[in-house]
Amino acid sequence: MKNVGVWLDKEKAFVVTIENGTEDMKTIESNIETFRIHGGSGTRFKGGPQDVVQDSKYLEREKHQTKKYFSELAAEVDNADSLAIFGPAETFEKFKKELESSHKELDAKVKTVKRVDSMTDNQVKALIRDFFKDEN
């Protein structure tokens, strides 16, 4: 039985595969750009130059990068028998929604979706190992 646990945030995902008692961990970078939008008045005087900020352009680009990240992640965990998803912010919940809408056969294998804090590599391995030990 191939158990796969994923801990993900906006920057990277740790994919831990447990099969026949052996653990394998892989890191997938998201490549999602962080946007720092500048705008407003260029001077302290009234009527100074104004910068027009097109945040819809940045948000659209971020949406496409996130979708690509989730597709890579789904391809990585595609052959799992059971799947556990963990994460600190809302990215793991967005990944679960992406599985529900685009990867229904993979979504059926999800055993848990749980919020956990940021962790080191070894803490992620221990979390996933303990989850599947308790599950079996």
- Average of per-residue pLDDT across 36-52: 58
pLDDT digits (tens, 9 = 90+) for 94-111: 999 999 999 999 999 999
Q: What is the pLDDT of residue 52?
A: 60
Q: Where are the domains of the chain?
A: 2-33+55-135
**Residues 8 and 14: beta-carbon distance below 8 Å:** yes
CB 127 within 8 A of CB 5: yes
Q: How confident is the model at residue 131 (pLDDT cuts 50, 70, 90)?
A: very high
CA distance 119 to 5: 14
- In eight-state DSSP terms, residue 40 is E
Tokens 């750009």, located at residue: 33
List, for residues 5-35, the tens digit of each pLDDT value.
999 999 999 999 999 889 999 999 999 887 6
Report the distance separating Cα 80 and Cα 4, nearest Å. 6
Which pTM does this prediction carry?
0.83
Superfamily of domain 2-33+55-135: eRF1 domain 2 (3.30.420.60)
Q: pLDDT tens digits, residue range 67-94?
A: 999 999 999 999 999 999 999 989 999 9
Instruction: Say how far apart CA 85 and CA 115 lie, in whole Å.
Output: 9
Check residue 92 and report its DSSP letter.
H
